[in-house]
Amino acid sequence: MRVLVTGASGMLGRATATALLERGDEVTVLQRRPSGLPCREVLGDVADRAAVDRAVRGQDAVLHLAAKVDVTGPWAEYLTANVEGTRAVVGACRAAGAGRLVYVSSPSVAHAGTALTGVGAGPADPDGARGRYSRSKAIAERDALAADGPSLAVLAVRPHLVWGPGDTQLVARVVERARTGRLPVIGSGAALIDTTYVDNAAAALVAAVDACGPVHGEALVVSNGEPRPVAEVIGRLCRAAGVPAPRRRVPFGRPGRPAPPSRACGR
């Protein structure tokens, strides 16, 4: 199969492209800087329709991972990378006749802040999503799934808190804050949180490429299925990196009000 992976310079994009190459697919990657992967490479911004058109041409399937995932930044940057970029990918898929599009989303697109346990993938909600990243991804997921139809099967996959070797988003930030003493534990640290190891997330995305067609027009949540207390997850990451685990605790809830009981959560 001929598959385009956008955002292959990122940890998950690179792992997914590598998995596709290892099983014998003909892979093209699109990102702003060289990936170093042994495949066809198109350099460009995902919001640049001309660059996206060049990358999508001749592809059977597209795995769209490229996004701005920072926790801070101007709304215009999220709008360009996440919303306009996704629209460019959808338009290019339609123009080139690519039959499958797997859009990599986030559980946060349907999470308004309450604890979630064992629930399915609710609809993306830009108004209820918290933060610019989540809001922009929610808008983009809606746009991607709205393109689902007879000529283009679209599937949204929401990996939850992906981590692994070379992670600069989750692990690196946790470790750096712990090293400088700026990483507190919120509440008791007993709230459960699920994560996804990068190889598992990549395997799920490869499976989504294969399933897209018979399964389409919906969103799926992916995780390890092994929720652990937040304090344990942070402590293990810190020990693996050789930095002290946080000892300072910050009360959860409004001042003057008792903290609510811990519950399993995901976003």
Whether 146 is in a domain gets the answer yes
Report CA-CA distances (Å) from 176 to 74, 98, 231, 246.
Answer: 23, 42, 16, 11
Mean pLDDT by 10 residues, the chain (267 residues): 97 97 98 96 98 98 96 95 98 98 96 70 92 97 98 97 89 93 92 95 98 97 94 94 92 53 36
Whether 244 is in a domain gets the answer no
Q: In whole angstroms, give the CA distance from residue 266 to residue 96.
A: 37
Q: In whole angstroms, give the CA distance from residue 131 to residue 78.
A: 11
Catalytic positions, written as ranges: 133
Q: Tell me what pLDDT residue 71 has.
A: 81
Q: Tell me the DSSP string of the chain.
A: -EEEEE-TTSHHHHHHHHHHHHTT-EEEEEESS----SSEEEES-TT-HHHHHHHHTT-SEEEE------SS--HHHHIIIIIIHHHHHHHHHHHHT--EEEEE--GGGG--SS---S---PPP-TTT--SHHHHHHHHHHHHHHHT-SSS-EEEEEEE-SEE-TT-TTTHHHHHHHHHTT--PEETTS--EE--EEHHHHHHHHHHHHHHBTTB-SEEEEE--S--EEHHHHHHHHHHHHT-PPP--EE--SSTTSPPPPP--B--
Whether 47 is in a domain gets the answer yes
Q: Which residues contact 172 (CB under 8 A, 6 or more apart)?
A: none
Q: Tell me what pLDDT residue 107 has.
A: 94
Q: Tell me what pLDDT residue 263 has.
A: 34
The pTM assigned to this predicted structure is: 0.90
CATH classification at residue 117: 3.40.50.720
Whether 240 is in a domain gets the answer no
Whether 245 is in a domain gets the answer no
Whether 31 is in a domain gets the answer yes
Number of domains in the chain: 1
Whether 148 is in a domain gets the answer yes
Range of the domain at 120: 2-160+197-223
Whether 155 is in a domain gets the answer yes
Q: Tell me what pLDDT residue 253 has.
A: 64
Q: Distance between terminal CA atoms of the chain? A: 32
Q: In whole angstroms, give the CA distance from residue 225 to residue 201.
A: 12
Q: In whole angstroms, give the CA distance from residue 129 to residue 226.
A: 24
Residue 79 in contact with residue 68, Cβ under 8 Å?
no
In this structure, what token pair is assigned to residue 116? 């979630």
